[in-house]
Structure 1
Amino acid sequence: MVRFLLAALNPQLGAIAANAEALRAARALAAGRGAALLVTPEASLSGAPAADIAARPELLDACEAALQSLAAETADGGPGLLVGAPWREAGRLRSGILLLEGGKVMARRAGHALPHGADPRLTPGPAPGPMAFRGLRLGVMSGADADDPAIAETLEETGADMLLSLAAAPFAGEPEDRASDAAVARVVETGLPFLGLGLLGGQGPWVHPGGGFVLNADRRLAARLPAFQSGPLLVQWQEGEAGWRCVPQALPEAMPPQERLWRVLLLAVADAVAKGGYAGVMLDMSGGAAAALLMEVARAAGLRVFPVGGEEAAVPSPKDDAALEALAAARDALLLNAATADRRALGLGSRAGHLAPLAEIWPGELAALAAARGLPPPSLDGGTEAMLRGLLAEKPVDALAAQGYDRAEVSRLWRALAAAAHKRRQAPAALRLGRGHCDPFSNGMTGLLP
């Protein structure tokens, strides 16, 4: 029998020394619980998404120094480590998973299938082979490797005992069980058990929900680490005639979609404050129900709140965006913008702020979130919301009119969306929920509408 300890962690982008200390603490915990291997996700040392920072020599040097130091510590005979980080290789920038064991870096596996939107400076690694670890052959995958059946097939054909997908995919609105459902195909194709683990944490407009699972070769779910928890999760493996099998354990219930969205908001705002070094958050309470919901988010996250405007605030709303931003700077506060998806799309309201957590949330969703927490609901106009959502989903004006919506009103909203393009670009960063769209600064399409 062999034990793995899974830890999603919550690294801060570029804080290599602090992230290395978190890995050391997790390894000590793994040792105390009798684990042979500490498993962490992609970017667990560097943080993510690294973007331009990933190519900085300072970050690469710091990562390499930390990797060598962590590797040297494994000479004590304690747990090995699977760690995520970028590195240089023959003048190329790679990113993936490294195995630290026996006092050195035993193996590096760069992502072969890079995810959509990956830094173009990253060079894909070769098709990966298994990592040898204490009699096991680990089929380690990172990036979008698990989405490519050929990669899992290659690992199986080269002798892998199990598949491990250690990724750093940001939240995109998917249900909690999407990753395990997608992994079933790789299990069926290879006949191997599958371990998945995701990165945890908020970083600017992105949130990584974490979460992990193990599927046995019979496609049954044997263990699950809930999303939004750093863990750890201890899993035990037994070897039998049919190969390795994870000992099943009690499974936590899957998180409902609305609660999952709420936890995304909590993590995004809490980490934006903590990782940005802010004293708290500032909210203009004249934003109505949306501002009230963000106030509840901040309080639930245990953050200090500096309200302005509204009944609870000792400070009235500043006269303009510049004054509001100056007030937030004076308080060393993260300024939250309460614009919802409909108002942001039409360029309405204030454009001040560091982060707009609700910018991809529609009033109907906001109403459901507010009701679940006993807050006043926003005013709703279901018809306008449906038309806007349809237009942003690239439905033709005629198609929306055929659904019963007033064609003149649909045309007016289409023109309003086009006219507000520059205002959307002036707005603060939107929390990304996988619903964004890319629109041109200007276009001549509106001239085709009567």
Structure 2
Amino acid sequence: MTDRLRIALAQLNPTVGALAANLELGRKALADAAAAKADIILFPELFITGYFPDDLLFKPRFVADAMATAEEFAKATAGTGVTAIMPCVGQDGGKLYNSVLICENGEVVARRYKRELPNDDIFYERRYFERAELQEPVTIKGVSIGIPICEDIWHPEVCAHLVDNGARMLLCPNGSPYWRNKQATRYKLVRDRVAEDNVPMLYLNQVGGQDELVYDGASFGIEPGGRLVVQAK
């Protein structure tokens, strides 16, 4: 087990519905991470489809193509030495989930699913996705890592379950749009979870515009004690 991990945060601007373009954007980021000798690269929520794909998720062909695109991305990890945490839609038992794929050595080695689904005036995830059971950590480079997805960290029991089951850090992919004072809300949220669970968390957000929504990036990391240890623009 290593005592140090180099983690690349892919704060990028995927385009909703543009599977091929998002695949190429992901491959380039992976190559950059490999050149920087990263151990892990984390992508934003539903990176392959773009966030949020809305009623495209009712189209079986789109869902199938998105999952195939994610599998194609996984092949690019071969020979890089980098483990990629790639968010995409996923199916299990005929049900659709907001998920992440753990990709290394050219294949998908694990999947994890989002438990807490927002259902508000912006995102109606319950319209499309199944609510998952509480998830287990994944082991990457010998380190147990929890991967709560966006809304999950608003519910303390999700992170607590991951840490109780051995997670030594939390990596959280997000699709969090901007509004006034939003960053202060994010800081408080993550500091609360870190204080409760005594593990560091990296919070990755996407950047750019999708229709009427603007994503401001501003990804960051908080360590136990509440100190801000990394801040993206």
TM-score range, shorter chain: over 0.9
Given the alignment of the two structures, is residue 82 of structure 1 paired with residue 85 of structure 2, yes or no?
yes
Instruction: Provide the residue aligned with 1:186 in structure 2.
Output: 193
2:165 pairs with one of 158, 178, 195: 158
On the 8 A contact 1:112/1:143 being kept in 2, the answer is no
Q: Does residue 1:92 correspond to 2:99, yes or no? A: no
Contact 1:201 1:209 in 2 (8 A): yes
Counterpart pick for 1:38 among 38, 41, 60: 41
- 2:122 aligned with 1:123: no
Are the equivalent residues in 2 in contact too, given 1:94–1:123 (CA < 8 A)? yes
Q: Which amino acid letter does the alignment assign opposite residue 106 of structure 1?
A: V
- Aligned pair count reads 226
Query: How many Å separate the matches in 2 of 1:161 and 1:114?
Result: 24
Higher-helix-fraction structure: 1
Structure 1 contact 114–143 (Cα < 8 Å) conserved: no
Map 1:204-215 to 2 at 5 A.
204-215=211-222
- Matched with 1:144 is 151
Q: Measure, in 2, the Cα distance between the counterparts of 1:181 and 1:90.
A: 37
TM-score by length of 2: 0.92
Question: Which one of 76, 82, 107 corresponds to residue 73 of structure 1?
Answer: 76
Q: CA deviation at 1:145?
A: 0.2
Q: Tell me which amino acid in the other structure corresponds to 1:10.
A: N
Q: Distance in 2 between matches of 1:121 and 1:67?
A: 19
Q: Over residues 304-323 of structure 1, what are the superposed CA-to-partner deviations in whole Å (9 max), with x where a residue is unaligned?
A: xxxxxxxxxxxxxxxxxxxx
Please give the alpha-carbon distance, in whole angstroms, between the structure 1 residues aligned to 2:82 and 2:20.
Answer: 20
**2: CA distance, partners of 1:172 / 1:98:** 29
CA distance in 1 between counterparts of 2:101 and 2:111 reads 4
CA-based RMSD: 1.4
Q: Which moved more, 1:147-156 or 1:192-201?
A: 192-201
- Of residues 222, 225, 229 in structure 2, which corresponds to 1:222? 229
> How far did 1:170 drift?
2.0
Return the alpha-carbon distance in structure 2 between the equivalents of residues 40 and 103 of structure 1: 17
Give the distance between the partners of 2:76 and 2:149, measured in 1 at CA.
24
- 2-structure distance, mates of 1:36, 1:95: 24
Task: Give the whole-Å Cα distance in 2 for the aligned partners of 1:175 and 1:95.
Answer: 23
Letter of the 2:24 counterpart:
E
Whole-angstrom CA distance in 2 between matches of 1:4 and 1:220 = 18
> The residue matched to 2:78 in structure 1 has which SS?
helix
Deviation at 1:77, TM superposition (A): 4.1
Paired AA for residue 186 in structure 2: A
Displacement of 1:169 in angstroms is 2.1
Q: Which one is further off, 188-197 or 52-61?
A: 52-61
- Is it true that 1:23 corresponds to 2:26 in the alignment? yes
Residues 276-322 of structure 1: CA deviation (Å, up to 9, x unaligned): xxxxxxxxxxxxxxxxxxxxxxxxxxxxxxxxxxxxxxxxxxxxxxx
1:205 Cα deviation from its structure 2 partner: 1.1
2: distance between equivalents of 1:179 and 1:140? 17
How far apart in 2 are the matches of 1:77 and 1:48?
27
